[in-house]
Amino acid sequence: MNLSRGTDSRSESVAKTTVIDHQTKDHAANGKRVDDMETGSHQQKKLPVTAVIVGCGHRSLIYASYALQQPDELKIVGIVDPLEERRKAAAAKFSVSEDQCYASVDDLVKGPRIADAVINGTMDALHVETTIPLLRAGYDVLLEKPIGISEEEVLSLYEEAKRLGRKVMICHVLRYAPFYAAVRQKVADGVIGDLLQVLTTENVSYHHMATAFVRGKWRSKEQCGSHFLMAKSCHDLDLITWMKTGVRPVKVSSFGYRSYFREDQAPAGSGKRCLVDCEIERECPYSAKRLYVEQQMWGDYIWEYSRVSRDADDEAKLEDLRTENPYGRCVWRCDNDVTDHQNVIIEFEDESTATHVLTGGTAKPCRSIHLIGTKGEIEGVMEDGYFVIRKPNLDNAREPLEERIELNVSNDMHGGGDLRLAADFVNMLKGGEPSISATSLESSIYGHLIGFHADQARLENSVYELQQLED
Distance of closest approach, residue 457 Cβ to ligand NAD, in angstroms: 22
Q: Does 82 bind ligand NAD (CB under 6 A)?
A: yes
Using the rule CB under 6 A, which residue among 140, 144, 202, 403 binds ligand NAD?
A: 144
Residues 238-297 interacting with ligand NAD (rule: CB under 6 A): none
Answer whether 239's CB lies under 8 Å from 200's CB.
Answer: yes
Q: Map residue 259 onto helix, strand or coil.
A: coil
Contact between 168 and 141 under an 8 Å Cβ cutoff? The reply is yes
According to the binding rule CB under 6 A, does residue 373 interact with ligand NAD? no
CA distance 360 to 363: 9
DSSP state of 432: P
Q: Does 307 bind ligand NAD (CB under 6 A)?
A: no
Which residues in 382-421 contact ligand NAD (CB under 6 A)? 414
Task: Report whether 151 contacts 452 (CB < 8 A).
Answer: yes
Q: What is the DSSP letter of 3?
A: -
Q: Which segment (16-24, 81-89, 323-331, 450-458) binds ligand NAD by CB under 6 A?
A: 81-89
Q: In what order do the strands lie in the sheet with 401-407?
A: 16-20, 401-407, 386-391, 377-381, 366-373, 195-205, 353-362, 341-348, 249-257, 464-465
Total number of residues that touch ligand NAD (CB under 6 A) = 25
Residue from 3, 20, 29, 83 that binds ligand NAD (CB under 6 A)?
83
Minimum distance, C-beta of residue 350 to ligand NAD, in the bound complex (Å): 29
Site membership for ligand NAD, residue 118 (CB under 6 A): no
Q: Do the Cβ atoms of 428 and 116 come closer than 8 Å? A: no
CB neighbours of 450 closer than 8 A, spacing ≥ 6? 237, 240, 241, 249, 252, 344, 346, 466
Contact between 192 and ligand NAD by CB under 6 A: the answer reads no
**Interface with ligand NAD, residue 126, by CB under 6 A:** yes
235 vs 249: CA distance, rounded Å: 16
Q: Is 122 in the site for ligand NAD (CB under 6 A)?
A: yes
Residue 103 burial by Cβ neighbours in a 10 Å radius (0-12, 13-18, 19+): middle
> Binding string to ligand NAD for residues 152 to 191, with x set by CB under 6 A, is what?
-------------------x-x------------------
* Least distance between ligand NAD and beta carbon 346 (Å): 21
Q: What is the SS3 assignment for 267?
A: coil
- Binders in 51-80 for ligand NAD, by CB under 6 A: 54-59, 80
Interacting positions 85-104 with ligand NAD (CB under 6 A): 86, 104
- The residues facing 381 across adjacent strands are 368, 386
* Binding positions for ligand NAD, rule: CB under 6 A: 54-59, 80-83, 86, 104-105, 121-124, 126, 130, 144-145, 171, 173, 231, 414
